[in-house]
Amino acid sequence: MPDSSVFELRKFVAPEIVYGEGARLLAGQYASIFQAETILVVTDPGVIQSGIADDVFQSLDEYGIAYHVFSDIQPNPRAESVMEGTRIYREKHCTGIIAVGGGSPIDCAKGIGIVSSNNKHILEFEGVDKVEIPAPPLICIPTTSGSSADVSQFAIISDTRRQVKIAIISKTLVPDVALIDPVTLLTLTHDLTQHTVLDALTHAIEAFVSNAHSSISDIHALEAIRLICSYLPLVMQEPKNLEYRAYTMLASMHAGLAFSNASLGAVHAMAHSLGGFLDLPHGMCNALLLPSVIKFNYSGASERYDTIGKQFGFDMSASMSEGRMDALLSGLSEFYTKIGFNSSLSDIGVTRDHVDDLTEKAIMDVCMVTNPRGITKKDLISIYESAL
């Protein structure tokens, strides 16, 4: 059967990307190109401690660009942090933003940008295309190989009052430039490496089976899967190997380009609910939910899941679809074992008592719209329960 997606009308957006060793050192040059006289550097304490932020400060000094630092940001960035960062942005008369870090500082920086230009509260932008006025220039320097917020049109912000993460999706959130430097990964811890690359893997898989996938996003998704299954096990063994790190960084970038344009699915909707409610690591939540969601979704996109299995190198030759689904799930389970990921939702404190609240929030998440199979609250309850 022909794949109709090859002639379907689809949009693909991406920032200017500079990829490679030393890309982080171009921060000053790009700030100068954007004529940003005073920069707000948005980062977090871990990135400052690693010394990566110093490289960026030095680059800004070389170009004579003034900067102020905002680093009061927690994992799962909060609406309060966005509003506080905006206050500082205005108080210091900044004219551009550089985000250095993982998804939390980058999403927070995106939030500061749109709040400062639109003069609204960050929570008012929830949903798709709710940003009217573009943000000031935004340069992103990712320091994890997972969130890909540096290339995406997504920002995920925690609404601590409602204990939920909101998704903001807008072309105005695509950064002006992503300076993607694999050197920044060399100080990443074991757990952060594992969780963030599994986040990237989930981005690639969900984008590939998404209702909004395209022939362009497919190429990026499949390349991300190929790179992650080849290089994540090697990175876990040799975390200081720059070549292996570079491939995981590249994988994250490809996965980001795929999901930014094809969107995501039930894994992310359910993980956002978990992260907002229990403040758990995002990549870990995704990895724990992924097998149960694949099992539920498989019948809605079986050929696409089979392609994913082949991309991993699993034996997908079974004649019955059930056999191919089992091959994909057992292959994924072996992959988790190979990289030392062995956990369940119960291990991280999720209980049956949480499931109803988690379901209520997940069903409302914008990522659910592009899940390849229709999903009810009852389905969500049984998926959460099977991942416990």
Which residues make up the interface to Fe ion (CB under 5 A)? 199
Long-range contacts of 59-62 (CB under 8 A, 24+ apart): 59/24, 59/25, 59/26, 59/27, 59/28, 59/29, 60/27, 60/28, 60/31, 60/98, 61/28, 62/28
Q: Residue of minimal CB distance from Fe ion?
A: 199
Smallest distance from the beta carbon of 103 to Fe ion, in angstroms?
7
Q: 55 or 199: whose CB is closer to Fe ion? A: 199
Which amino acid is present at 181?
D
Least Å from the CB of residue 154 to Fe ion: 8
Kindly tell me which of 183 and 224 has the beta carbon lying closer to Fe ion: 224
- Nearest approach, Cβ of 79 to Fe ion (angstroms)? 19
CB 339 to Fe ion: min, Å: 17
Q: Rank residues 150 and 199 by Cβ distance to Fe ion and give the closer one.
A: 199
Q: Could you tell me the smallest distance in angstroms from the CB atom of residue 137 to Fe ion?
A: 25
Question: Angle, to 10 degrees, between the axis of helix 352-362 and the axis of helix 266-278?
Answer: 120
DSSP state of 239: T
- Distance from C-alpha of 208 to C-alpha of 94, rounded to nearest angstrom: 39
Residues 322, 326: Cα–Cα separation, whole Å: 6
Nearer to Fe ion, 242 or 364 (CB): 364
Kindly state the smallest distance separating residue 1's Cβ from Fe ion, in Å. Answer: 31
Exposure string of 97-120, with b = 16+ CB inside 10 Å and e = fewer, is bbbbbbbbbbbbbbbbbbbbbbee
CA-CA distances (angstroms) from residue 384 to 76, 282, 346, 362? 21, 15, 10, 11
Residue number, 275 or 309, with CB nearest to Fe ion: 275
Instruction: With CA atoms as reference, report the closest residue to 211 among 262, 267, 169.
Output: 262
Task: Indicate the residue among 24 and 282 with the shorter CB distance to Fe ion.
Answer: 282
